[in-house]
Copies of this chain bind each other. A is one copy, B any other.
Amino acid sequence: MENIKVIFWGLGVIGSEMARMTLDKEGLEIVGAIDKEKSKVGLKLSEYLNYGNSYIVINNNPIEILKSVEADIVILAIDSDSFVESIFPKIKLIIQNKINCIIISEEMIYPNSIESNLSKELDDLAKINNVTVLGTGINTGFMLNSLIMMLTASYKNIKSIRASRVTDLSGLGRTIIKSQGVGTTIQEFEKGTERGTIKGQIGFAQSISMIANTLGLRYDEIVESKEPIISNTYRETDTVIVHPGMVAGCNHIAIAYRNNKKIIALEHTQQIYPQCEGFETGDYIDIYGNGNLHLCITQDICSNIGTAAVAINMIPQVLSSKSGLKTMIDMQIPHVIENNFVDQLKYYLK
């Protein structure tokens, strides 16, 4: 079997991380690179990435590349494009060119709960063209839904689930730091959440729908809130300064209620230097049912790298899956792939 041929569409922070990972992996071959940014277009991929040995030239014309380049899968990684509605035309174009697709836009992790018509259209179109489309990532996509669901496997019955993720934004870029309201006043934070410029964790309520629907837990409503984390200390990064009394980040909470009881509660706390005030970064999951389970994970893999790895590691599964618009629920247990990706694909195709 030949190498798996990959096109990258979107070479921002995460797309670039994925491209570097792909260059390192046996059985994967980059055959196309698309980005609209003028500073990138025309550069050889390895020149832009400052990594590896790829002579593929970055092109700004997706229609041309998708039509002319023979590929097995497109990795669609437009960092700023988190929403089903806005990413939809790009996915449609990929499907119409009969190429499989992995997307890291947050809402694509469980698109049906938020855009059922567009999801139906993508699913139908993917089936007609015999390709598979999967949304994945680390915050939405893995830690705060797939992992939670997996941990319930040893349960007979579940009463409630609580999970929180505490993230340190200090090392991340200006865009994400701004999107969590870091460095704003409380008034600015409130305006920002109203206007949608302060975003919290996009796709967060969808993670609840995904967990609840998959496990068969009924709920009456999902209530979301984005609260400012008001700093008591002075905090400073390369791109932002937070004085005491200012906002150090955003605490995004989503809760599913049934009969006014909390069935699933997710919390993502994103701020710069959480250690300043005694918060440890990590993932915390508590499951209550016929028994109680408490999980704690600490790790030093940042979200960008985690998202990049999850997406690339899913390639063989997407290529071997039934056609259609899929979610992580439809995939086999995800895992790192140290061996040849083609061997992994052969295993799944057996």
Chain A residues near B (Cβ < 8 Å): 21, 24, 138, 142-143, 146-147, 149-158, 214-217, 289-301, 305-310, 312-313, 328-340, 343-344
Contacts and interface: CB of A to CB of B under 8 A. Distances in A.
Task: Report copies per complex.
Answer: 2
A143 B153 CA distance: 10
Contacts of A329: 332-333
Given A294-B299, A295-B297, A153 B330 contact: no
A336 B150 contact: no
Contacts of A307: 154
A321 to B, nearest CB: 10
A172 to B, nearest CB: 15
A333 B291 contact: no
A77 to B, nearest CB: 15
B330 A332 contact: yes
A156 B336 contact: yes
B152 A336 contact: yes
A176 B230 CA distance: 54
A59 B24 CA distance: 58
Given A158-B336, A215-B338, 9 more contacts: A214-B335, A215-B336, A216-B340, A216-B344, A294-B297, A294-B298, A296-B297, A330-B332, A332-B332
Nearest to A340: B216
